[in-house]
Structure 1
Amino acid sequence: MPYHQTLKNRRPGKLSGRANYDTWKVAIRYHLEDRESYAVCITATENAEKDRKARSALVSSVTSAVIKEIQSCETAKEMWDRLSKLYEDKNPNHFVSLNQEMFTTRLTRLENCSNMAEYLNKMKTIGMKMKRILPQYPDQAVAANILTNLPSHYRPLVMALENSVTDLTTDLVCERLLTESEKMDLPAQKALAAKYNNSNTGRNNDKKYFKGNCNRCGKYGHKSSDCRVNVKSKGDNHLRTHTFNHNKSEQSANNNSRHSKVKEAFISSNQNSICHRIPDKAWIIDSGATRHVTPYRDSFSSFEINK
């Protein structure tokens, strides 16, 4: 099928309501122009064949809920006007709500938009709706609102644009912001990649260190598959067992030696040479003691025998 025939047969997305009316209107217009039937939708042109094609295109490009709104229309123009009246936002009273929506739109993940492209698209859509209601609404106002609602780290770019001799336009602001956003995202992406690589490196390093004893040599810190002790055959199992038991015994002896040294240090503290310089009848004050004992009767000023 020729390419131009493919374009003619391609249908736009279905109109579901006011939310997607603006984009649907643009898409259906070009679709109708390809079918040479757009003129009968906006003028009272009497052409039965083109009117039939236009009505067919309109009905097939809306949802079943919207079809109920235009099923009583007799011509394509009646359908077009009915849809415009229902979903095209031209009510002057809506200008205030649109202005409030533009003012509250923010470029933050916690609020409205998660990235710059989404933020700019939403702001431009609101601006187009405001211009439709108020045609004299300046494009510079839309550009100014876009800059006003940016996070603080875009402040240098905002100041540069404010002091520029070039007139602010929505297209200029969007172009500069998209470029600046890409520059800011690049270091973040590199940092994320570096963090990912470091985390992988850590996992690889963990594989090199085994927390346990080797089943071959009995030493701590590696597996038997990584052991440097060369056991060539099954006949050398006694060597492996002997080595393991020897190292285990050696490790146990070292542990016992450490404990014995601690005990000896504790015992030797009772025989400290300082004690020999203390007089026999001297008292050593200990606030934590519950009882004081001495073999010397004359050390007490009063003495009572408990029976």
Structure 2
Amino acid sequence: MASNAVSVEKLKGRENFDVWKIAAKSYLVIRGLWDCFENELDAAATPVQIATDLKAKSELILLLETQNYSYIADALSAKSAWDSLTNAFEDTGLSRKVDLLKQLVELKLNECDSMEDYVNKMVMTSLKVKKAGLKIDDEVVASLMLAGLPADYKPLVMAVENSTKILTCDAVKTLLLQ
């Protein structure tokens, strides 16, 4: 019998919030509960809507490490629980922005396990930078991806430079993963 179980790493705190948020949202969409996290329960909610919201909040609780229960203990709805976690762990302060930007600029292929690992870290870090509130152009991310390559990739970088195509992150990602 095939299992439909979906495994989501539990929320530890700020250190895994960005990745957890993506996985948790996907899980809750699969479970058909994401609407509860987008819309607050209406005062005229039916018993079925109230039960669905309670189920959604319960599913969310099961995706947390126990030390994080305090953040949602007083939440009356699934949406307010989600919002509490976002407010607690989504760091958009200046020091976070600077740290993420530094990580993006300093990321190098030779510090990663593979090209796939490098590309994934570059893309995820650029997404974190954007989510932290910094506007970063796709061409800049593509350029940084090329800049993090070692010297033996110089012919590839020169070929991209001499190309007439517009430099995009997706184009560079595809090229590097071929």
TM-score between both structures, scaled by the size of structure 2: 0.86
Question: Considering only CA atoms, is the larger Rg found in Structure 1 or Structure 2?
Answer: 1
User: For residues 13-32 of structure 1, what are the structure 2 equivalents within 5 Å?
Assistant: 13-32=9-28
The 8 Å contact of residues 10 and 64 in structure 2, kept in 1 or not, is answered as: yes
Match of 2:8 in 1: 12
Distance 1:100 1:13, change over 3 A: same
Query: 1:122 and 2:121 equivalent?
Result: yes
Deviations 1:253-279 (A, max 9, x none): xxxxxxxxxxxxxxxxxxxxxxxxxxx
Deviation at 1:10, TM superposition (A): 2.8
Deviation at 1:93, TM superposition (A): 4.3
Match of 2:96 in 1: 94
User: For residues 102-181 of structure 1, what are the structure 2 equivalents within 5 Å?
Assistant: 102-108=104-110, 112-134=111-133, 136-179=135-178
User: For residues 1-307 of structure 1, what are the structure 2 equivalents within 5 Å?
Assistant: 7=4, 9-46=5-42, 47-108=49-110, 112-134=111-133, 136-179=135-178
For the aligned residues, what is the CA RMSD?
A: 2.0
Matched residue type, 2:84: R
Deviation at 1:178, TM superposition (A): 2.0
Structure 1 alignment gaps of length 5 or more: 180-307
The 8 Å contact of residues 104 and 144 in structure 2, kept in 1 or not, is answered as: yes
Distance 1:30 1:102, change over 3 A: closer
The ranges of structure 1 where at least 4 consecutive aligned residues each deviate by more than 4 angstroms after the TM superposition are none
Tell me how many residue pairs correspond in the alignment. 172
TM-score between both structures, scaled by the size of structure 1: 0.52
Aligned with 1:157: secondary structure? helix
Q: C-alpha separation between the residues in 2 aligned to 1:17 and 1:176? A: 35
Q: C-alpha separation between the residues in 2 aligned to 1:54 and 1:90? A: 26
Structure 2 alignment gaps of length 5 or more: 43-48
